[in-house]
Amino acid sequence: MNNVVTRREELQQLRARADMATEYAAEMAALRSRKDYLAEYDYFLDLLGLLPHPERFRERFKKPLVGLTCVQAPLELVDALGFHPYRLCAHASSRQRLVSSQLPSLACPLLKSIRGSFHLDESLERLCDLTVIPGSCDWMAKLPETLEGRAPGVHVMELPRIRESERGQRRWLEEVRELKRVLEKRAGRSLSRQALLRSLETHARAWRAWHLLLDARSQSLISATWTTVISHAFLMGDTEGWTDRVNRLLRVLREQPPLSGTRVFLAGSPIFFPNLKVPQLIEEAGMHIAGDELCSSERILAGPALGRDRSVDGLLRSLAEQYHLGCSCPSFTDTPRRLANLLETLHQRRISGVIYHVLKGCHPYDMDSYRYEKIIKERGFSFIRIETDLSREDGKNLLVRLEAFRDLLHERS
Amino acid sequence: MNLTRSRLLVQSLSFGILTYGGRFGLNLGHALPCLSCPYVNGCGGHCFLMALQGSFWGVQASLSALAGPRGLETLRMLALFILLALQLSKLWCGWICPFGTLQDALTWVRSRLGIPEARWSWATSDRLRWVKYIFLLLLLAIPLMIANLGLHGDYGLPFCQICPAKPLMPLFTGDTAHLAIDTTNAITTAMTVLSLLLAGGFLAGMFFRERFFCIFCPMLALLGLVQRFGLVRFTKNVNACVGCGSCARSCPLEIRTVRAELVKRDVMSPECMACMTCADSCAHDGSLSFHWLKWRIFASSAVGAARRFRKGLFS
Ligand code: SF4
Ligand code: SF4
Ligand code: SF4
Ligand code: SF4
C-alpha cells in the first residue's frame, strides 16, 4: 500500500515539475517574442528562469536562502546577515493546482501558489533555511500552520494593523528586532553595523535605479509588462547585479521611441511572474500603465531608510518604520493616505483612468475597491474593476472589457 | 552644494559673526531673535530676551510707566524683534542661533563617539513642549512683579539668570566668570547655584539628545507666536506623502506632525526650527518644501534623499 502511495506521489511530483517547467517556459517564450523585447531584458528573464530549477539557483548564489512572503519584511536585514533574501511570491497555476484539494477554493491564488511550492520536494521554497512570513492578511497568517513541517524553519512576524499609534510602531520595531535575533542565531554571528550600512546602501542604490525606471515607464519608454518582469527579478535577491542591469537598461531605453497607448493606472492586488496576463491584456487593449501601486511592482522597495540614529538599533528602527509606515498595503487601517497618493500620481503623471485589479480571494484589496471606485469617480477619473485569478480562460472576456474602457477614456479625453 | 553643507556653512559664519563680531565693530542691535548672548564680550548682536526682560527696553517698569513713552520704547523694540522674526522666522533657530549651533556640535561629538541618543515616549515629548511657554510667561511676569509688586530686584533678568547660554557661551571667548557663584546675598547665591545646576543639566541633556535645550527655549515660543505671519513658509503636499516617517526620524526635535498631517498645507509646527532636514530626508518629489515669499528655498526630492542617504551614512 505504502509503495502505491509513494509511487503516486512520485508521479504527482514529476507531473508538477513538468507542468511548472512548461508554464514558466511558455511565459518566457511569449515575453521573448514581444515586439518591444530588448536583449537587455535577458538578465532579468534568466533570473526568473531559475525559479523552476532550485539547484541552478543554489549554484549561482551559494548563500543560505531566506524566503520572504511579503514586502514588509526588511530585505536589508536578511542580506546584512549573509543570507540571500528571496521572495516566494509567484502567480503559477501549476503550483496552485498542487494544493487545490487542501485549501478553500476561495483562498487567495497567490497564497495557493506560494503554498503549492512547498509541496514540491525540490523547490526553492523547500531549500530555504528560513521562511519569514509577515501576517499581512488572514491567508498569510494561516499559512505557517498549513506548512506542516514542509519548511525547514518558519518565522512569523506579527503585523500591527494600526500604525498611527506609538504602540503599533513599537510593536513592529520589536518584531524587526526579533527577526534580527532569529537570523543572528541561524547565522551564528551578530549583526555588524558596517554590514547593515552596506546593505542599506546597496538597497538605496537599487531603489534609486528602480525609481528612474518607473520614471521611464511614466514617459512611455518601457511597458509595465517588462517592469513587472524586472520587479520580480529584483525579488530573486541579486540586488547589486540587478541594480547594475537596470542602470544599463536605462541608458538603452533613453534611445527608444516612446510607446503608444492610453495612459492608465493599475491599482489593487499584486501580479507576479509567470502570469503577467493582466498587464499584457491592458497593453493589448491599447493602454499604457504609467503608474501603479502594486506591492509586486512600484512598491517592491521601501526607499532609503533615513534617520538620525545610526547605531545598529537606530538603523533597525529606521528600517522598521520605513517598511511599515511607508507601506500602502490595504491590510492597514489608514487607507485615506493610500488613496490620496493614488490621486496625486494621477495628476502628476497625467493619467485619466484607473484599472483596479482584484485577485479573486484577495479580500483586503477587494474590500477597498468599492470605496476607491466611489472616490476616484467623484474626482472625475474613470474606473474599472477587474476580478480574475491565475487561469487564462477569462482572457478574451477581460480584453473586451478593457477595450471598452479604453474607448471610454478616449471619449472623455 | 547640498543642504547639510549649506547649513553648516551658514551656521559657522553666524556663529563667528554673532560670537566675535563686536570685536570688529559689528553691532546687529538688541532685538535678535536668537540666543546671541550679550554676556559674551564682543558679541555681534544681542538676544532679544534680555531686552524684553530688562528695565530699559523691556517690561520691567511700573504699569503706569509702560502706558506712557517708556511703553512705546518697549513696543519699538518688540516691533524690531517682530520685523526680524517675520523676515527669517524659524531660520533664526535652524540656521543662525549660535546656541543652536553649539548643540549641533555636541550631537556631532556624541554620534562620533557612537553613543546612542536618549529616547523618550511621545507622551513625554508632548508634555515637555509646554515648558517653554511657562518660561516665557515667567520671564514676562517676574520683571513686572519686580516693578509693580515689590519683588526683590535681584530676581531681575530671571531667564538670563538660568539660561545655559550665559555660563556656556562666554567660554568661547575664554571667559569663565559666569561659572562662579555670586554670594552677595541669599537670592544671588541661590540663583547662581540654580544657574550652574541647570547649565550642567542642559549640557548633559544637549549631549545625549539633539537640540535638547530648544525644546525649552522661550525664544522658540516667541518665534512660534509670530511664525504664521512670517515670510518663510514650510508647506507639505499632503497627497504626495506616503507616510514613511523619514521626516520625523531625521528631525532633530522628532516632530511627528509633519508626517501625520493629512489636510493642511502649512506644516510649520510651533516646535519646528526650519532646519529643513526633514525635507532633505523625504524621498518624495515636492512633498515638503520651504519658501521665502514666493521663492522656493528647498524642496524634497528623490535625488536629494538618495544623495543624503549616502552622505548621511558614510560622511
Ligand atoms: S530654540 Fe534653539 S536655536 Fe532657537 S533661539 Fe532657542 S536655543 Fe537658539
Ligand atoms: S542669558 Fe540667555 S536669554 Fe539672556 S541674553 Fe543671554 S542668551 Fe539671551
Ligand atoms: S518623509 Fe516625506 S513621504 Fe515620508 S512621511 Fe515625511 S513627508 Fe511623508
Ligand atoms: S520639522 Fe523639519 S524643519 Fe522643522 S525642525 Fe524638524 S526637521 Fe527641522
| pLDDT tens by residue, B150-187 | 999 999 999 999 999 999 999 999 999 999 999 999 99
Rounded distance from Cα B169 to ligand 2 centre (Å): 10
pTM score, whole prediction: 0.92
Rounded distance from Cα B187 to ligand 1 centre (Å): 27
Query: Coil, strand or helix: which one is A261?
Result: coil
Residue B56 pLDDT > 80: yes
CA distance A250 to A221: 9
CA distance A296 to A270: 5
Residue A378: its pLDDT value, please? 97
Q: Which of B201, B222, B243 is the last residue of a domain?
A: B222
Residues B68 and B121 in one domain: yes
Domain span at B207: 3-222
Q: Any CB–CB contact under 8 A between A307 and chain B? A: yes
Question: Quick check: is B73 in a domain?
Answer: yes
Decide: B166 in ligand 2 pocket, CB within 6 A: yes
Residue B1 pLDDT > 80: no
Within a 13 Å sphere around the CA of A318, how many CA atoms are in the beta-carbon half?
Answer: 27
pLDDT band at A4 (very low <50, low <70, confident <90, very high): low
Residues B130 and B271 in one domain: no
CA distance A177 to A194: 17
Q: What pairs with residue B119 in β-bridges?
A: none
Residue type, B161: Q
Q: How many residues does chain A have?
A: 413
Could you say which residues from 117 to 136 on chain B have a Cβ atom under 8 Å away from some Cβ of chain A? 117, 121-122
Residue with cell 549649506: B6
Residues B143 and B283 in one domain: no
Give me the number of domains chain B comprises.
2
Give me the number of domains chain A comprises.
1
Q: Any CB–CB contact under 8 A between B250 and chain A? A: yes
Decide: B199 in ligand 2 pocket, CB within 6 A: no
- The residue whose CA is least distant from atom 3 of ligand 3 is B241
Question: Quick check: is B162 in a domain?
Answer: yes
- The residue whose CA is least distant from atom 8 of ligand 3 is B241
Question: Quick check: is B63 in a domain?
Answer: yes
Report ipTM (2 d.p.): 0.89
Residue A99: its pLDDT value, please? 81
Decide: B100 in ligand 1 pocket, CB within 6 A: yes
Question: Quick check: is B315 in a domain?
Answer: no
pLDDT band at A48 (very low <50, low <70, confident <90, very high): very high
Residue B315: its pLDDT value, please? 34
Q: Which residue has the higher pLDDT, B306 or A363?
A: A363
Residues B166 and B214 in one domain: yes
Residues B69 and B159 in one domain: yes
Residues B164 and B74 in one domain: yes
Residues B63 and B188 in one domain: yes
User: Which percentage of chain A shows pLDDT scores above 70?
Assistant: 99
CATH number at residue A47: 3.40.50.11890
Residues B185 and B245 in one domain: no
Question: Quick check: is A148 in a domain?
Answer: yes
Question: Quick check: is B56 in a domain?
Answer: yes
Contact B241 A201 (CB under 8 A): no
Residues B162 and B283 in one domain: no
Q: Which residue has the higher pLDDT, A108 or B47?
A: B47
Question: Quick check: is A304 in a domain?
Answer: no
Q: Where is mean pLDDT largest: A160-164, A304-308, B7-11?
A: B7-11
| A373 Cβ contact list (under 8 Å, min separation 6) | A356, A383, A385
| Nearest chain A alpha carbon to B251 | A308
pLDDT band at B312 (very low <50, low <70, confident <90, very high): low
Residue B99: its pLDDT value, please? 98
Decide: B96 in ligand 1 pocket, CB within 6 A: no
Of A208-212, B121-125, B229-233, B311-315, minimum mean pLDDT range: B311-315
Nearest CB partner across the interface for A341, out of B122, B239, B252: B239
Question: Quick check: is A20 in a domain?
Answer: yes
Residue A33 has which C-alpha cell? 517574442
Measure B202 CA to nearest chain A CA, in Å: 20
Residue B311: its pLDDT value, please? 60
- What is the residue-averaged pLDDT of chain A? 91
Residue with cell 535577491: A237
Residues B237 and B191 in one domain: no
Decide: B251 in ligand 4 pocket, CB within 6 A: yes
Residue A185: its pLDDT value, please? 97
Question: Quick check: is B227 in a domain?
Answer: no
Backbone angles phi, psi at A245, to 5 degrees: -70, -35
Decide: B247 in ligand 3 pocket, CB within 6 A: yes
A254 burial class (0-12, 13-18, 19+ CB within 10 angstroms)?
A: exposed
Longest CA–CA span in chain A (Å) reads 68
CA distance A305 to A296: 20
Q: Which of B176, B195, B222 is the last residue of a domain?
A: B222
User: Could you read off the pLDDT of A148-196 as tens digits, one per residue?
Assistant: 888 889 999 999 999 889 999 999 999 999 999 999 999 999 999 999 9
Three-state secondary structure of chain B: CCHHHHHHHHHHHHHHHHHHHHHHCCCCCCCECCCCCCCCCCCCCCEHHHHHHCCCCCCCCCHHHHCCHHHHHHHHHHHHHHHHHHHHCCHHHHHHCHHHHHHHHHHHHHHHCCCCCCCCCHHHHHHHCCHHHHHHHHHHHHHHHHHHHCCCHHHCCHHHHHCCHHHHHHHHHCCCHHHCCCCCCHHHHHHHHHHHHHHHHHHHHHHHCCCCHHHHCHHHHHHHHHHHHCCEEEEECCCCCCCCCHHHHHCCCCCCHHHHCCCCCECCCCCCCCCCHHHHHCCCCCCEEEEECCEEEEECCHHHHHHHHHHHHHC
Decide: B214 in ligand 1 pocket, CB within 6 A: yes
Residue B6 has which C-alpha cell? 549649506
Contact B246 A337 (CB under 8 A): no
Rounded distance from Cα B38 to ligand 2 centre (Å): 7
Kindly state the average pLDDT of the residues A303-314.
88
Residues B160 and B299 in one domain: no
Residues B161 and B238 in one domain: no
User: Could you read off the pLDDT of B209-256 as tens digits, one per residue?
Assistant: 999 999 999 999 999 999 999 999 999 999 999 999 999 999 999 999
CA angle (A203, A206, A210) in 5-degree steps: 140
User: Could you read off the pLDDT of A231-275 as tens digits, one per residue?
Assistant: 999 999 999 999 999 999 999 999 999 999 999 999 999 999 899
Q: Which of B197, B222, B247 is the last residue of a domain?
A: B222
Question: Quick check: is B50 in a domain?
Answer: yes
Nearest CB partner across the interface for A340, out of B238, B252, B309: B238
CA distance A23 to A367: 31
Question: Quick check: is A124 in a domain?
Answer: yes
User: Which percentage of chain B shows pLDDT scores above 70?
Assistant: 98
Residue A92: its pLDDT value, please? 83
| B127 Cβ contact list (under 8 Å, min separation 6) | none
Domain span at A128: 7-209
Query: β-strands B288-292, B232-236: how paired?
Result: antiparallel
User: Which percentage of chain A shows pLDDT scores above 90?
Assistant: 67
Question: Quick check: is A296 in a domain?
Answer: no
Nearest CB partner across the interface for B249, out of A208, A302, A307: A307
User: Which percentage of chain B shows pLDDT scores above 90?
Assistant: 92
CB pairs under 8 A between A and B: 96
Q: Any CB–CB contact under 8 A between B239 and chain A? A: yes
Contact B249 A309 (CB under 8 A): yes
